[in-house]
Structure 1
Amino acid sequence: MAEPGWTPPLRDELQGIEPYGAPQLDVPVALNVNENPYAPSPGCVADIAAAVATAATTLNRYPDREFTPLREALAAYLTREAGVAVTPDQVWAANGSNEVMLQLLQAFGGPGRTAVSFAPTYSMYPEYARDSVTGWVAGRRREDFSFDLDHAAALIGEHRPSVVLLPSPNNPTGTALPPEVVAPLATMLREHGGGVLVVDEAYAEFRRTGVPSALELLADHPNLVVTRTMSKAFALAGGRLGYLAASPAITDALRVVRLPYHLSSVTQAAALAALGHAEELLGAVAELRRGRDELVRYLREAGYDVAESDANFVLFGRFADRHAVWQGLLDRGVLIRETGPDGWLRVSVGTPAEMDAFVTALEAVRDAIGDNGLVSEQQGAHR
């Protein structure tokens, strides 16, 4: 038992830090964490249950450390989805893309090294850097959230980062990187110290027709890493399976920092079974794309400023007091996310019934607050 007055010897940079996490509240409509609102079908659930039951018969043994069948299935899926050849030795997986990212920073970051991203960007990136004792530098995006390649080149030249993290589509804005950005960035990094470019495609399956994946550039850039997840498109957020595609040299390096047997037999079995239902699960993605586009149209017609989105969420504003709008929605049973640049809110795309509830609540909040709640003179930059 600890002595009275004793406190744990927490690292100095962690003192007073609140743990990451979106609010988990019991509300009728939860649209705050970009989940897929469509649960797996009964057939998919049955196959997952059967696969897990089989895995349970060997739980007295450690899992396949190399998770070879899962890597083969993920490589086959990426090859079909992106139209480029991805081999199993190019694939790595972990417990959600969060662990994939942390392993990348553990392998290629560390004391005396720097990671870079461009704000607004995913709020966990600086935490991965902090947890791996990696320096953190945040550049900026343009006012319309597009990527400024000249600014990026200057920042890379100044800091010579060992890792650059770029979500595409970006979280929280939903904007995708243009194809002409990725290749020059990968080349710049090789020329300025050999850093790794990580393109985080957690929402890639939701991108609009004609928006390419960075997977198409893997063969030409050995320092390029493309990360994906089964949490979103595959409706497997509770399964915690993220993965990446990269050169075999990069996947080999991650073996050095991974914890022993980091992917459980249950996780491997569930993910393999879900991949067997890829066509069915991606059918729900098409419905969510349509819902996103309808939501963007509605918000713009209602006078809101809306960021272009290739994800399953939409960033909209701008509000003089976004917290009042967030709270007003919550009071009406709808939970969205208060994140991103000041004055903006992010809403996930849900089922048609959930989106109707969101629209009804938003209109009620607007009636209560009035148009003065909108920063109207700033409207139009993202339309």
Structure 2
Amino acid sequence: MTEQLERLNRLPLRDDLRGLTPYGAPQLEVPILLNVNENTHGLPEQVRKAIVASVEQAVAGLNRYPDREFTELRERLAGYLGHGLTPENIWAGNGSNEVLQHILQAFGGPGRTAMSFPPTYSMYPLLASGTGTRYVTGVRSDDFTLTPESAAEQVREQAPNIVFLCTPNNPTGTALSLEVVKAVYEAGEASSSIVVVDEAYGEFFHAGTPSALELLPGRERLIVSRTMSKAFALAGARVGYMAAAPEVTDALRLVRLPYHLSAITQATASAALEHADALLANVEAIKIQRDRIVAELQELGLKPAPSDANFVFFGGLEDPHALWEGLLEAGVLVRDVGIPGHLRVTAGTEPETSAFLARLRELLAAGIR
């Protein structure tokens, strides 16, 4: 046991936190970072200038608390999402993780249960633990898909208070049909389950893949969460949001910290939304590289999962860690998500994608698979 760990264990730490390590992917200094699904294109110049101007205006009032209701931001987010949503349907936080935490604080807690279907976003159990919510898991098919019948049966059996449905799913990139969402919502009727559809990568859906935003009318227990970290290239700004019935946002006001969104955060997000078209143009470029990765991995004899996200999850590997290390030696960092025989790579710019594929070919040719 290290000295630092010994000092930590001397503290009156909660028993369920003892022995745990902090969440986080490796942060290494390499030329090509394709491991945490960031938007590697960065912000267009016109958007950078707009954000700087907006923040400069906000700085003049930093001696005052920010708008507690982040009114302008909610108006812009409602306009961006469409689907007849109004500001009363919108909630936001410091990244979608804080939004999910608010949901667990309001509808979870001691004596209550949250459920999801691994492999999926690894923060769900951590957020549940942090709010004293019991976390239970369902199962997917061997190809990581989830059918309406299977999902509904498992929800009826577990009767959770909250269900997380990640679509496109992280780490697999696979999208859920709206039939799955509807089946889970109906199955949760008896237990009054809050159903959270996590669409963090929703802007990267293939054309024709529907959003659960379509299902919000008449479903007061349904929540659709999004983020500005991915499509809007604002991972460093920490802005997440959700759409739901107005009574859900009222519930979250009961648990949020006062003035939880800073004036700088609000100004940054509002300016970015004003230039959504310029930012979403990069989304189309990313989707091209994602589909290129899927096609070329198939040609190389690997097994990429169908992806509606800005990353590709692929299998058919005998020693994924050796392949991960071989890519890292060439300055390309991808993600080992801990699923045997698989790795995950973010779809970056055209040069970044080309560098990844070129090095991958070299490693496969050398017998590293």
Q: Distance in 2 between matches of 1:360 and 1:301?
A: 13
In 1: Cα distance, 2:187 partner to 2:116 partner: 15
Match of 2:155 in 1: 156
Report which stretch shifted further, 149-158 or 134-143.
Answer: 149-158
Match of 2:350 in 1: 352
- SS of 1:140's equivalent in the other structure is coil
Which residue in 2 is equivalent to 1:118? 117
2:278: which partner in 1?
280
Task: Give CA-to-partner distance per residue, 1:181-230, whole Å, 9 cap, x none.
Answer: 1112112112x210100000000000001100000000031110000001
d(CA) in 1 for partners of 2:117 and 2:245? 24
Q: Deviations along 1:346-367, whole A, 9 cap, x unmatched?
A: 0000011001110111112212
**Could you tell me how far 1:154 is from its partner in structure 2?**
2.8
Alpha-carbon distance in structure 2 between the residues aligned to 1:62 and 1:7: 38
Confirm or deny: 8 A CA contact 2:168 2:308 kept in the other structure. yes
Alignment-mate amino acid for residue 248 of structure 2? I
The letter of the residue matching 1:248 is P
Q: C-alpha deviations, 1:277-315, integer Å up to 9, x for none?
A: 100100000111111111110000110011000000000
User: 299, 302, 307: which is aligned to 1:301?
Assistant: 299
State the shift of 1:369 in Å: 3.0
Alignment of 1:336-347 (within 5 A): 336-339=334-337, 341-347=339-345
Q: Is the 8 A contact 1:55 1:266 kept in 2?
A: yes
Alignment gaps of 5+ in structure 1: 374-383
Q: What is the match of residue 359 of structure 2? A: 361
The answer as to whether partners of 2:151 and 2:183 remain within 8 angstroms in 1 is no
Equivalent position SS for 1:237: coil
CA distance in 2, matches of 1:151, 1:287: 35
Find the counterpart in structure 2 of residue 76 from structure 1. Answer: 79
- Equivalent residue of 1:257, what SS? coil
> What one-letter code is carried by the residue in structure 2 that aligns with 1:49?
V
TM-score normalized by structure 2?
Answer: 0.96
1:130 aligns with 2:129: yes
Between the aligned partners of 2:232 and 2:156, the Cα distance in structure 1 is: 38
- Does 2:83 align with 1:60? no
The residue that corresponds to 2:92 in the other structure is: 93
Counterparts of 2:217 and 2:152, CA distance in 1? 22
Q: What is the one-letter code of the residue matched to 1:186?
A: Y
How far did 1:340 drift? Answer: 5.2
Q: Which moved more, 1:229-238 or 1:357-366?
A: 357-366
After superposition, give the CA deviation of every residue in 1:147-188 in whole Å (9 maximum; x if it has no partner): 133332232222210100011000000001112111121121
SS of alignment partner, residue 220 of structure 1: coil
Asked whether the 8 Å contact 2:334–2:343 carries over to 1, the reply is yes
Q: Separation in 2 of the partners of 1:114 and 1:340?
A: 25
Within 1, Cα distance between the matches of 2:152 and 2:271? 43
Judge which range, 152-161 or 353-362, deviates more: 152-161
Separation in structure 2 between the aligned mates of residue 329 and residue 196 of structure 1, nearest angstrom: 41
| One-letter code aligned to 2:167 | S
Tell whether the 8 Å contact from 1:196 to 1:224 is kept in structure 2 after alignment: yes
Letter of the aligned partner of 2:139 in structure 1? Answer: R
Taking the aligned partners of 2:344 and 2:136, their CA distance within structure 1 comes to 24
**CA displacement 1:123-170 (0-9 Å, x = unmatched):** 111001100110111111111111133332232222210100011000
The code of the aligned residue for 1:9 comes to P
- Pick one of 8, 11, 15 that aligns with 1:8: 11
Counterpart-to-counterpart distance in 1, 2:348 and 2:336: 17
1:24 aligns with 2:19: no
CA contact (8 A) 2:151 2:180 kept: no
Identity %: 54
Moved more, 153-162 or 18-27: 153-162
* Residues in 2 aligned to 1:210 and 1:194: alpha-carbon distance in whole angstroms: 31
User: Any conservation in 2 of the 1:187–1:221 contact (CA below 8 Å)?
Assistant: no
Contact 1:173 1:340 in 2 (8 A): no
Question: Which residue identity is paired with 2:273?
Answer: L
Change in Cα spacing, 1:288 to 1:195, as seen in structure 2 (3 Å) is same
Cα deviation code 1:1-41 (max 9, x no counterpart): xxx97822111111111100010000011100001111111
Could you tell me how far apart the structure 2 residues matched to 1:159 and 1:259 are?
Answer: 31
Deviates further, 59-68 or 155-164: 155-164
3-state SS of the aligned residue for 1:194?
Answer: coil
Distance 2:148 2:277 in 1: 36
Aligned to 2:208: 210
Q: Is 1:34 the equivalent of 2:40?
A: no
User: Following superposition of structure 1 onto structure 2, how do residues 194-209 of structure 1 map, counting pairs within 5 Å?
Assistant: 194-209=192-207
Correspondences of 1:107-256 after superposition (within 5 Å): 107-190=106-189, 192-256=190-254
Partner of 2:164: helix, strand, or coil?
Answer: strand
Between the aligned partners of 1:155 and 1:117, the Cα distance in structure 2 is 10
Deviation at 1:42, TM superposition (A): 1.4
Which ranges of structure 2 fall in alignment gaps of 5 or more residues? Answer: 1-5
- The aligned runs of 1:325-344 (5 Å cut-off) are 325-339=323-337, 341-344=339-342
Q: SS of 2:357's equivalent?
A: helix
Which whole-Å deviations, capped at 9, do the CAs of 1:327-377 have from their partners, x for residues lacking one? 11111111000015211100000011001110111112212334xx3xxxx
Shift of 1:119: 1.1
Question: Aligned partners of 1:221 and 1:336: how far apart in 2?
Answer: 39
Amino acid at match of 2:258: P
